[in-house]
């Protein structure tokens, strides 16, 4: 998992701009690849600035002065800390769509001014070409070379209210100011995510639409599943002015060109009215095996009932490399099966969509599908009992799960990542050891290195020592050379100071403590919190590195029980002697 910010190593102004009253501040951005997740907001509070709770919201821009709020991304902070960046995470990260203009916004009743730096996003200014960090990109202002669609201003603000989920900041700063709101996205779904997947998530207003022909059509999108999934919904975008909704829907099997059993519905119940934008028709009890399909809708009408966009699945459009969302994917124009991606059939009945719009160069008709991975049947592992009778029958051993489970593991890693992000020292932060050259700038990565029982364990449960390695990378030929080691050392001491100041990680995941002094490692070859400098070559690029050893003791990770097979089945005996 890699996390991205727009200002990962840049602090805001030391003092606020004087002002009292209502204030809204926003920043427009996009992600340039599919599969990105919006995790939360960052907000710079200058020394002496307001530290009361603030509300944050996410919008999709839909016009010069209009947008659509995305309610699942609204969150209110706790008390803020002055003189630093403050991270306000979402309880549940949400997926974003590529090449869609979004806006992050905050609002409050200002008492002690707001953060502002002028002359940032206009022509010949520091961010005249916008800001790019991996797949995350912030637009420039109108005078720059990368303005937002619809002419929406960068560094926008408003004074008409304080609720960022109720109103957009529609005043463009005449001086192309930066109001120091940032965001965080990642390229991986949250740990233990059990929700659904769509091809076009959180895009309430599809881009570059035009009205299609006033004809009866079957319209379809090809998609693939890498595993069995429950069919949740078929989605369709009903444009403003439409008076009818699709009268039939279904899923075609790509190979047989026939409806998948249980998916063809005549007169479906839609979640909204005609002309109201995205509407869905729900399913229950339908499981789609892994394979290739087409999700389709049909309307027999002589009026305009759908929109389209050209150059989406081809021509360098947003879907020209395909879309992948968990087990759900859609091929591009170049890789689609016959007859092509986003196919259709003109006629008065719903049939296999056998036509591809060649002049449209990968047209799309805004037909989407929503699925959830089907639950696996957890029957346990099959093992042969050493006490089996002559029949040597197989027996099912019950599953034993550690207390330090998936959620706890990711909680600890996320905590380490959050310290790296909040330090402001790093251009990017990875939750894994890099598989390729980290690139330019200063990069932090963290991964697990050693897991073993802790010496200070009890009789009923075993605590463990988990040694994480955090590595700081900087190109060894980055100039000025004299600043390489000071930069690396300063970042290292910031991280070590953070761990010392929060040596139990706030009690997350039953962390007993970070073994700062190496008590658990005595006589066992391990170390306390420490760092070792060196060099490493990745993809023929040499990096100066500092590797941090982060030893963390986890309380009662494993129960101490004996598992035995009686005539009644499997039983356990704890270290206290009780049997179950």
- Same domain (yes/no): 288, 347: yes
What are 412's two structure tokens?
């600890």
Note whether residue 192 is domain-resident: no
pLDDT tens digit sequence for 126-163: 999 999 999 999 999 988 999 999 989 898 999 999 99
Calculate mean pLDDT across residues 50-64. Answer: 95
What's the pTM? 0.70
Contact (CB, 8 A) for 432 and 510: no
- Supply the CATH number for residue 19's domain: 2.60.120
The residue written with tokens 């986890």 in the block is: 554
Strands 530-538 and 541-559: antiparallel
pLDDT tens digit sequence for 185-225: 999 998 888 899 999 999 999 988 999 999 999 999 999 99
The conformational region for residue 150 under phi > 0 = left, psi -120 to 50 = alpha, else beta, is: left
Note whether residue 568 is domain-resident: no
- Cα Rg, the chain, nearest whole Å: 28
Residue 394 has pLDDT above 50, yes or no: no
Indicate the average pLDDT of the chain.
88
pLDDT of residue 385: 35
pLDDT tens digit sequence for 215-266: 999 999 999 999 999 999 999 999 999 999 999 999 999 999 999 999 999 9
- When divided into structural domains, the chain yields a total of 3
Note whether residue 397 is domain-resident: no
Specify which of 28-37, 477-486, 569-578 reaches the highest per-range mean pLDDT.
Answer: 28-37
Note whether residue 394 is domain-resident: no
- Same domain (yes/no): 217, 135: no
Q: Which domain holds residue 442?
A: 406-559
* E strand or H helix at 105: strand 102-110
- Same domain (yes/no): 316, 452: no
- Same domain (yes/no): 166, 208: no
Alpha-helical segments (H) within 452-571: 484-501
Residues composing the chain: 580
pLDDT of residue 378: 33
Calculate mean pLDDT across residues 538-551. Answer: 90
Give residue 389's pLDDT band: very low, low, confident or very high (50, 70, 90): very low
Burial class (CB in 10 A: 0-12, 13-18, 19+), 567: exposed
- Same domain (yes/no): 27, 154: yes
pLDDT tens digit sequence for 439-454: 778 999 999 988 988 8
Residue 563 has pLDDT above 80, yes or no: no
From CA 236, how far away is CA 243, in angstroms rounded?
A: 14
Residue 565 has pLDDT above 60, yes or no: no
pLDDT of residue 522: 53
Note whether residue 389 is domain-resident: no
- Supply the CATH number for residue 465's domain: 3.30.2000.30
Last residue of a domain, one of 147, 166, 186: 186
Of the candidates 570, 247, 538, the residue with the CA atom closest to the CA atom of residue 395? 570
Calculate mean pLDDT across residues 3-28. Answer: 95
CA angle 59, 63, 66 (to 5 degrees): 55
Residue 119 has pLDDT above 60, yes or no: yes
- Same domain (yes/no): 95, 202: no
- Same domain (yes/no): 428, 349: no
- Same domain (yes/no): 414, 536: yes
pLDDT of residue 235: 97
Note whether residue 47 is domain-resident: yes
pLDDT tens digit sequence for 408-437: 888 888 889 888 888 888 888 888 888 888
- Same domain (yes/no): 118, 181: yes
From CA 429, how far away is CA 54, in angstroms rounded?
A: 26
The DSSP 8-state label assigned to residue 148 in this structure reads P
Contact (CB, 8 A) for 168 and 158: yes
pLDDT of residue 564: 56
From CA 519, how far away is CA 529, in angstroms rounded?
A: 10
Calculate mean pLDDT across residues 10-17. Answer: 96
* Termini Cα distance of the chain: 41
- Same domain (yes/no): 100, 244: no
- Same domain (yes/no): 148, 273: no
Last residue of a domain, one of 164, 186, 208: 186
Calculate mean pLDDT across residues 327-354. Answer: 94
Note whether residue 393 is domain-resident: no
pLDDT tens digit sequence for 71-118: 999 999 999 999 999 999 999 999 999 999 999 999 999 999 999 999
Sequence-distant (6+) residues with CB within 8 A of 346 are 215, 216, 217, 355
Q: Which of 464-468, 539-543, 558-562 has the least mean pLDDT?
A: 558-562
Contact (CB, 8 A) for 86 and 56: no
- Same domain (yes/no): 355, 241: yes
Note whether residue 135 is domain-resident: yes
pLDDT of residue 241: 93
């Amino acid at each position: 998992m890699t996390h991205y910010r727009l200002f990962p190593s840049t602090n805001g102004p030391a003092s606020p701009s004087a002002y009292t009253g209502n204030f809204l501040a926003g920043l427009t951005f996009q992600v340039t690849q599919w599969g990105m997740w919006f995790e939360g907001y960052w907000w710079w509070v200058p020394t002496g600035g307001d530290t009361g709770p603030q509300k944050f919201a996410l919008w999709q821009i839909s016009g010069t002065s209009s947008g659509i709020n995305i309610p699942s991304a609204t969150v209110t902070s706790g008390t803020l800390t002055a003189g630093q960046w403050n991270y306000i995470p979402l309880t549940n990260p949400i997926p974003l769509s590529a090449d869609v203009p979004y806006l992050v916004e905050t609002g409050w009743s200002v008492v002690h001014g707001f953060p502002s730096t002028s002359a940032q996003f206009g022509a010949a200014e520091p961010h005249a070409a916008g800001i790019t960090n991996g797949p995350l990109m912030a637009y420039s202002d109108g005078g720059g070379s990368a303005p937002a669609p619809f002419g929406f201003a960068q560094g926008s603000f408003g004074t008409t209210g304080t609720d960022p989920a109720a109103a957009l900041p529609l005043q463009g700063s005449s001086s192309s100011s930066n109001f120091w709101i940032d965001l965080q996205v990642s390229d991986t779904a949250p740990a233990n995510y059990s929700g659904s997947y769509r091809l076009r998530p959180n895009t309430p207003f599809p881009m570059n639409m035009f009205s299609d022909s006033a004809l009866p059509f079957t319209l379809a999108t090809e998609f693939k599943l890498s595993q069995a999934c429950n069919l949740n919904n078929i989605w369709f975008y009903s444009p403003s002015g439409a008076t009818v909704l699709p009268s039939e829907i279904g899923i075609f099997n790509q190979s047989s060109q026939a409806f998948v059993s249980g998916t063809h519905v005549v007169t479906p119940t839609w979640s909204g009215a005609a002309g109201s934008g995205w509407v869905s028709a729900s399913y229950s009890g339908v499981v789609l095996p892994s394979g290739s399909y087409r999700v389709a809708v049909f309307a027999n009408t002589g009026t305009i009932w759908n929109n389209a966009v050209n150059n989406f699945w081809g021509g360098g459009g947003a879907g020209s490399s395909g879309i992948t969302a968990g087990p759900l994917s859609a091929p591009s124009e170049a890789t689609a099966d016959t007859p092509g991606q986003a196919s259709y059939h003109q006629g008065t009945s719903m049939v296999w969509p056998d036509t591809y719009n060649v002049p449209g160069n990968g047209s799309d008709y805004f037909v989407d599908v929503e699925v959830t991975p089907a639950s696996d049947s957890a029957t346990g592992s099959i093992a042969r009992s050493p006490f089996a009778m002559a029949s040597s029958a197989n027996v099912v051993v019950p599953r034993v799960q550690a207390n330090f489970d998936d959620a706890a593991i990711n909680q600890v890693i996320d905590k380490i990542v959050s310290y790296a992000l909040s330090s402001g020292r790093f251009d990017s932060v990875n939750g894994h050891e890099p598989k390729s050259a980290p690139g330019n700038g200063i990069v932090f990565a963290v991964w697990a290195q050693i897991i073993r029982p802790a010496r200070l364990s009890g009789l009923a449960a075993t605590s463990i020592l988990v040694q994480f390695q955090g590595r700081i990378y900087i190109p060894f030929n980055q100039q000025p050379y004299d600043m390489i080691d000071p930069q690396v050392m300063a970042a290292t001491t910031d991280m070590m100071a953070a761990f010392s100041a929060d040596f139990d990680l706030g009690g997350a995941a039953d962390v007993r403590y970070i073994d700062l002094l190496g008590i658990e490692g005595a006589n066992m070859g391990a170390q306390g919190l420490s760092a070792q400098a060196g060099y490493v070559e990745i993809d023929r690029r040499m990096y100066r590195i500092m590797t941090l050893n982060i030893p963390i003791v986890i309380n009662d990770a494993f129960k101490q029980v004996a598992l035995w097979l009686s005539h009644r089945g499997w039983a356990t005996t704890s270290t206290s002697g009780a049997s179950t």
